[in-house]
A and B are shown apart, each in its own frame.
Chain A
Amino acid sequence: MTTPAAHRPLIGARRMHLGDTTFRISLFAAGALVIIVLFSILAIMFAGGKLAFDTFGLGFITGTEWNPVTQIYGALPAITGTLMTAILALLIAWPIGFGIAFFLTETCPVKLRGPLGVAVELLAAIPSIVYGMWGFFVLAPFMAEYVQPWLTSTFIWIPPIPDTFYWFTAPPIGVGLITASLILAIMILPFIAATTRDVLLSTPQLLKDGAYAMGATRWEALTGVVIPAVRGSLFGAVFLGLGRALGETMAVVFVIGNAIRMPDSLMAPSATIASVVANSFPEAEPGTLDLAVLLALGFILFVVSFGVLAIARLLLRQERMS
């Protein structure tokens, strides 16, 4: 009557079993690996960039000069370019992305919802280098020919900050901050639309039904009930988009103009941390200050994206739990 199964030890003794022990240990090790990778990236970037931090001190972050010949490196132009392109991109992409999400969840004919939703998700999967190429060959010439002259003549009335920032007054050369922001915006658009749609879909139907039962219109149900209910997650989606835009390399490198100096207008050629790292890397020999500077830039970018992504995840998780 005694089958092998009957001989097996009870729960308490089970932990001693060799198979289960190796199983648990290997899985635990895999989990630990994730954390090790993250901290190794931080540690390696910091250690590699230490020479730059030691040489320039805090001036590395506030310095505005970038000159490989005199070996003077200040990261402020790249940091400014990164923040400006990412935030501009978000300002352009978020309203459109939200519009797409609202359209897909509420007003779109039911038959079209599935296919359009899939289309948006597929577009989010297109590699960023394709967006970069399109920006370089199609968008930049178009900007130079039509958009930038128009922007200059339309916004000429905005008072400039003398010797610092001239808004839209600059030679129309196509590449630059605003073109990079546009490409970034187009690139993160499907991503923002897809995450925002998921957030809107996660609203309990009962809440919406309640609003409609009170006689609310679709827009009132959205602004009065849905948005307050999922506000945290909506911001989470925005921060996720911001995290993407901050670290994007290939879409930006084609159209930013790659000029490492403080931008004096929204159309000036500029640089982002990611574009500087990708562009200057071929000239940076191991062990030199040139490479240390790039690693230090990488460290700054990692810390900033870590912060943005951590906020995004915390906001998204809050909602998931409640």
Chain B
Amino acid sequence: MKQLSPASRARYFRRQLVDRVMSGLCMVAAGVGLVLLGLILWMLFSNGIGGLKLSVFTNSMAQPGAEGGLANAIVGSLIQVGLGATIGAPLGMMVGVYLSEVGKESKFASVVRFVNDILLSAPSVLIGLFVYQIAVAPMGGFSGFAGALSLALIAMPIVARTTEDILRLVPQAYRDGAVALGSRENEVVRKVVLPAAFSGILTGVLLAVARIAGETAPLLFTSLGNTNWSTDLTQPMASLPIAIYRYAGSPYPEWVSLAWTGAMLITVGVLVLNILSRFSHAAVAGKSQG
């Protein structure tokens, strides 16, 4: 430091100062962001935990004044999300396998990949409007099946993307080995590549389920919501997000309280699914290293 001229010493300190100040600002940004988001979670739990009673799970939605719950909405969500994932996930897996194992860098595969990435972030409200036009309007009514269909369309690109990403991590030597043993193309994929990537694909499916479990907008146009108990897929069906939406805007305190409880349940569910998916992902990462 002694050899430095005063000018370069000043410049050195100025550079250090800029670095410290900007790093500090970034730290403040991180703090602000995390505090803000922590605040949301805290509000959610402090408002939601009070309404958490057994009746939430045993009673259906009811008139204000009566002891209502969210049982029909929870079951409706489980049915629609389950069916949506059952339709959407296999289709997504097939797209992922196509992109990674068959199409690869071909022109058509590049277009599919590009379009899939766009569908991945397309506004979900438009998916709902689309399914309304192709399924609800022609069939003459809102239905749980239409709700599941809209959720399937949202799940498909998510599963496709994660499946492709994870299949690309399967070492090429696995495929070469299978081919050398005389396997056909479909056997290579079915018996070697897919089993090797199983937990990674499961991660994608779990993430997709977490995503569609919280989707509200598409269900407004498809399954509509239902205040009564109904498991009939051809009729309007209740769901947790729609119940939250309707109750949150209502003037009755007991409905608002149920909305908070429902929002808390859905958030806990989504976070648990995300954490589970992390475990199955960690399992894959561990295996491919070992």
Contact = CB atoms under 8 A, between A and B. Distances in A.
Contacts of B95: 30-31, 33-34
Interface stretch (B49-57, B62-70, B267-275): B267-275
B103 interface: yes
Contacts of A193: 33
B198 interface: no
Interface in B105-163: 108-109, 111-112, 114-119, 121-127, 129-130, 133-134, 137, 153, 156-157, 160
A48 B108 CA distance: 29
Contacts of A277: 125, 129
A136 B217 CA distance: 17
Contacts of A40: 130, 134
Interface string A288-301: 00000011001001
Contact of B211 (A20, A23, A125, A134): A125
Interface stretch (B11-19, B78-86, B168-176, B227-235): B11-19
A281 B220 contact: yes
B118 A309 contact: yes
Contacts of A23: 185-186, 189
The DSSP consensus for interface residues of chain B is: helix
A27 B94 contact: yes
Interface string B20-32: 0011011111101
Which of A30, A107, A250 gathers most chain B CB within 10 Å? A30
A218 interface: yes
A220 B91 contact: no
A35 interface: yes
Contacts of B30: 99-100, 103-104, 108, 116
**Interface size range on B against A:** 35 or more
Interface in A230-254: 240, 243-244, 246-250, 254
B43 interface: yes
A95 B26 CA distance: 9
A134 B28 contact: no
A244 B47 CA distance: 28
A207 interface: no
B259 interface: yes
A99 B116 CA distance: 30
Contacts of A5: 181-182
Contacts of B270: 125-127
B19 A220 contact: yes
Interface in B83-98: 91, 94-95, 97-98
B125 A247 contact: yes
A41 B126 contact: yes
B102 A28 contact: yes
A189 B40 CA distance: 13
B186 A19 contact: yes
B76 interface: no
A246 B123 contact: yes
A44 interface: yes
Contact of A31 (B22, B99, B130, B275): B99
A11 to B, nearest CB: 10
Nearest to B34: A119
A78 to B, nearest CB: 13
Nearest to B211: A125
A129 B109 CA distance: 35
Contacts of A132: 248
Contact of A247 (B27, B36, B94, B122): B122
**Interface size range on A against B:** 35 or more
A123 interface: yes
Nearest to B94: A30
Contacts of A248: 123
B125 A249 contact: yes
Nearest to A305: B123
A270 to B, nearest CB: 17
Nearest to A191: B121
Contacts of B33: 96-97, 99-100, 120, 189-190, 193
Contacts of A156: none
A38 B118 contact: yes
A243 B121 contact: yes
Interface of B: 15-16, 18-19, 22-23, 25-30, 32-34, 36-37, 40-41, 43-44, 47, 91, 94-95, 97-99, 101-103, 108-109, 111-112, 114-119, 121-127, 129-130, 133-134, 137, 153, 156-157, 160, 181-182, 184-187, 189, 210-211, 213-217, 220-221, 241, 244-245, 248-249, 256, 259-260, 263, 266-267, 270-271, 274-275, 278
15 contacts: A31-B112, A34-B112, A34-B156, A40-B134, A99-B26, A126-B270, A127-B267, A133-B259, A137-B47, A189-B36, A286-B137, A295-B129, A302-B122, A309-B118, A309-B121
Given A17-B184, A19-B187, A247-B124, 15 more contacts: A27-B103, A40-B134, A48-B133, A99-B27, A102-B23, A107-B26, A118-B278, A125-B271, A126-B214, A127-B267, A128-B216, A129-B245, A186-B40, A218-B23, A310-B118
